Amino acid sequence: MFIHLSSPDLSADPRLDDYTKLKDVRLRSLLEPERGLYMAESSNVIKRAIEAGHRPRSFLMAQRWLPDLTAEIVSSTGAEDGGDVPIFLADEEVLEQLTGFHLHRGALAAMHRPELPSVSDLLAHARGGSPARRIVILEDLVDHTNVGAAFRSAAALGLDAVLVTPSCADPLYRRSVRVSMGTVFQVPWTRLDRWPDVDALHAEGFTVAALALSDDSVSLDDFVYSPAVTAPDSRLAMIMGTEGDGLSRRTISQADVVVKIPMSGGVDSLNVAAASAVVFWATRIP
């Protein structure tokens, strides 16, 4: 159903609650999983979410973006007007007052948050229905931008799956989704119940590589020629650490190998998003 908004009257419809205080990261990080929703921002991201089979709770957009999303509205709701799914339409000024920020490309959708698979199911089917061979674990990243960038690199460079630790930032938070360009919907992922749990990865036949600086680190240049990467039946799990402190000592101590990216120019490390792209490319499967 189309609902035209002439003013940002937040008391007009409780369904607009999904779109208020979007800039409050702490509040949204708690409310969105609790409500079973996430926000998809921009027409391209909304399209990718719907193509992935995710269901909309409602849409919020400027009138001029409606034609661009009509096909997705029909495919996800069965009707051009959304049927029972509200489609809120308003001028850009009203949208900005309602959400607290300027909408990127003028469209938002509140989406039902999909149920995440178990780790065992994910690893068994992530590679197009076959067992995953190359995965990454994101340990305790706090920056949603870095999470989204890591997912984009994972999609572009052919990783089979992403695991995030219990304290890692939400891959379905609005900024993560936008930075990933919607690839969080295309790369299989799930959240670990506990961490470190390297034994579970070993039981699945994975070699666990921690990306970190330590006295016994192996250069990525050498690691890519090891059986952990080159063997036809190899299964590799790479762990990338938090932005400030890197990987925990406990995680490093449980890894099979510690790998570092060779550096020059007096630089000792890269941002985790940049490092993930380098490592994913170097360890790609032909």
For residue 241, what is the DSSP state?
A: -
pLDDT band at 59 (very low <50, low <70, confident <90, very high): very high
| pTM for this prediction | 0.89
Residues 6+ apart with CB under 8 A from 199: none
Residue 22 and residue 28 in contact, taking contact as beta carbons nearer than 8 Å: yes
**Does residue 241 carry a pLDDT above 80?**
yes
Burial class (CB in 10 A: 0-12, 13-18, 19+), 212: buried
How is residue 150 written in tokens? 């890591």
User: Among residues of the chain, what percentage have pLDDT more than 90?
Assistant: 68
State pLDDT tens for residues 126-182: 998 999 999 999 999 999 999 999 999 999 999 999 999 999 999 999 889 989 999
State pLDDT tens for residues 247-263: 999 999 999 999 999 98
Give the span between the Cα atoms of 180 and 110, in whole angstroms.
Answer: 17
Which of 87, 115, 96 is CA-nearest to residue 15? 87
pLDDT at 9: 66
Residue 156 and residue 278 in contact, taking contact as beta carbons nearer than 8 Å: no
Find the angle CA(244)-CA(248)-CA(252) to the nearest 5 degrees.
125
Q: Packing angle between helix 43-51 and helix 66-77, nearest 10 degrees?
A: 20
pLDDT band at 274 (very low <50, low <70, confident <90, very high): very high
Residue 204 and residue 234 in contact, taking contact as beta carbons nearer than 8 Å: no
Residue 153 and residue 225 in contact, taking contact as beta carbons nearer than 8 Å: no
Give the span between the Cα atoms of 31 and 128, in whole angstroms.
Answer: 33
All domains in the chain, ordered by first residue: 2-112 (3.30.1330.30), 119-282 (3.40.1280.10)
Residues 6+ apart with CB under 8 A from 3: 13, 86, 87, 88, 89
Average pLDDT over residues 27-45: 84
pLDDT band at 104 (very low <50, low <70, confident <90, very high): low
